[in-house]
Chains A and B, each alone.
Chain A
Amino acid sequence: MYAFDIKRPSKLKKARKILKKNEGAQVLGGGQTLIPTLKQRLAAPSALVSLARIDELKGIRQKGDELIIGAASTHEEVAADGTIAALSSLAGGIGDPAVRARGTIGGSLANNDPSACYPAAALGLCATIVTNKRKISADEFFTGLFETALRDGEIIKAVNFPIPEAAAYEKFDQPASRFALVGVFVSQCKGDVRVAVTGASEDGVFRWADAEAALAENFNPAALEGLSVDPAGMIADIHGSPEYRAHLIGVMAKRAVAAAG
């Protein structure tokens, strides 16, 4: 790793100040992706600003028909919450226990790995990403491979999830990394049906519009019979071809609908 200092402010405002003052400073969440990246010298921050001591970013609470999850909540904490069963089960399936004890929801969303699980939950539940500056709808938040709508120095404070009538996430594990080879999150929320797909597209998480339309008519796995996804633009790697992933989306979507129903 290149050399850098770690700052550990206890207030969000202070974190913002440090980021402003130090050009090239970067935010550190749980570090489960950032630290391996630093070890490979793929990043050279002038300083890391740890969010671990900022109480404003912690805690999970229900407010009306929304579940508000502090950005620094670990996967383990979200897994233990249970208010939205599909979301907790998704969090409990990320990585392994040691990763879940450190990795955070804010970190995962800000990183927007194309195979990460949380982006599928945020998009599949139409979550709102609350930053220190504004509120961003999940539909606007994910802008491409490892790209988000976050601006320089903008910090995620919380993620607000509407509590759905029905939801489920089905992931086909890539067994070595336990990332999603393909993962599909489906939900029914205030009459809307959403189908969000991770692990498949070269552009990162996306909504499968045809499946949403079919399921809005009939929320049943049978409604997805005959639908297919175009393999163009799907990820090709040693674990699966674009055609394989495109096919898997249909399979996982059907399983998710069955589990949600």
Chain B
Amino acid sequence: MTQVSMTVNGKAVSVEAEGNTLLSTFLREGLGMTGTHVGCDTSQCGVCVVHVNGRPVKSCNMFAAEAEGAEVATIEGMANEDGSLGVIQQAFQDNHGLQCGFCTPGMVMSAAALLAENPKPSEAEIRAYLSGNLCRCTGYHNIIKSILAASGQEMKVAAE
């Protein structure tokens, strides 16, 4: 066991971890932050996406020790300071961007990474960026709509 220290959502944390402890396990079991989900555990589904030094990573596919000294951001840090929903979260609620909600933490974190790079993405750019995030309710349409809304854009409706 070694002590692993990092900053999570702006707060310094330090917990003992084994060499093979995944960042997702560190967050969920070491810190009790269960907002980050683990779905496939094979790095396919993207529900475990968090930000490490501003970049999206699959936390089930990175060792906690590799995040030593890093700035980590998780879904728990996406709400506003008063506890109300952040812009992306609110857009997901307003646009039915979640059904069962299991994939939502990863979707929101990927969306946040995308909007930080590209504040007005096209629908195609959003779809491409979410290629590593799976929603088994297949609610993709409203997820795209939510992210467009969070970026102040409306979804183009196909001609009737």
A residues apposed to B, CB below 8 Å: 1-6, 8, 28, 31-32, 35-36, 38-39, 47-48, 50, 52, 76, 95-99, 101-102, 176-178
11 A–B pairs (Cβ distance < 8 Å), ordered by A: A8-B65, A32-B43, A36-B43, A47-B19, A50-B65, A97-B56, A98-B49, A98-B56, A98-B110, A101-B55, A177-B44
Please tell me if the beta carbons of A36 and B19 are within 8 angstroms of each other in the complex.
Answer: no
The 4 closest A-B pairs by CB, nearest first: A96-B132, A101-B55, A5-B19, A6-B19
- Closest chain A CB from B55 CB (angstroms): 4
B-side contacts of A31, CB under 8 Å: 61-63, 66
Given A76-B55, A98-B57, do A178 and B41 touch, yes or no (CB 8 Å)? no
Give the number of residue pairs across the A-B interface with Cβ within 8 Å: 79
State the Cβ distance, B27 to closest chain A Cβ, in Å: 15
* Cβ-defined contact, A3 with B66, below 8 A: no
> A-contacting residues of B (Cβ < 8 Å)?
2, 18-20, 22, 41-44, 46, 49, 52, 55-58, 61-63, 65-66, 68, 110, 113-114, 129, 131-133
A36-B61 in contact given A96-B46, A101-B55, A101-B56 (Cβ < 8 Å):
yes
Given contacts A3-B19, A97-B56, A97-B110, contact A102 B62 (CB under 8 A): yes
A59–B56 CA distance with the chains assembled, in angstroms: 20
Contacts known (A6-B66, A31-B62); A98 close to B46, Cβ less than 8 A? yes
CA distance A178 to B36 in the complex (A): 24
CB–CB B58/A99 < 8 A? yes
* Residue pair B68, A4 in contact (C-beta under 8 Å): no
Q: From residue A12, how far is it (CB to closest CB) to chain B in Å?
A: 18
A-chain residues with CB within 8 Å of residue B56 when the two chains form the complex: 97-98, 101
Q: Contact: A95 with B132, CB < 8 Å?
A: yes
Q: Which of B19, B61, B131 has the most CB of A within 10 A?
A: B61
A34–B29 Cα distance when bound, in Å, is 23
Is A35 within 8 A of B19, CB to CB?
no
Which B-chain residue is minimally distant from A101 (CB atoms)? Answer: B55
